[in-house]
Amino acid sequence: MNKEVIQINFDETKFENTTHGVGEKFIFCTGLQCESPLTQAAIGTLISGEFVAEHMHPTMEEFFYFINGHVDFLIAKTVYTLNAGAFIKVPSNTIHSLKANQETKFLYWGVATQCK
């Protein structure tokens, strides 16, 4: 178990490309840095028109909080139109995709559904 304190000055951070091939993210911490089943906590950005293709995470549920912007979030064949201030949970093993209708910034984190 990792009991380190993590402190980040966001103004000094650099974003990186996401594994989905669109958008950028900055990872605040990963599961290796935590005692909990957190997989990662990050802030993400998408520019207007960017689209995260359909995918799923068999052993992780995801949580999103939208800081600004406007998105259409497809989860299990239902489209959720979300704006700043919205929160949504994506269950594990559920197909989902995301389309930014304008520049969007969001916090997101994943939690493993199986113990480490």
The domains of the chain are located at 16-112
**What pLDDT shows up at residue 24?**
81
What pLDDT score was predicted for residue 10? 66
pLDDT band at 27 (very low <50, low <70, confident <90, very high): confident
Rounded-to-integer distance, Cα 36 and Cα 86, Å: 25
DSSP 31: G
CA atoms 53, 93, 41, 73: torsion sign: positive
- Residues 25-36, mean pLDDT to the nearest whole number: 81
Asked if CATH classification 2.60.120.10 holds for the domain at 16-112, the reply, yes or no, is yes
Q: For 25-30, what is the mean pLDDT? A: 79
Q: Structure tokens of 63?
A: 């949580």
The amino acid present at 21, given as its one-letter code, is G
pLDDT tier for residue 12 given thresholds of 50, 70 and 90:
low
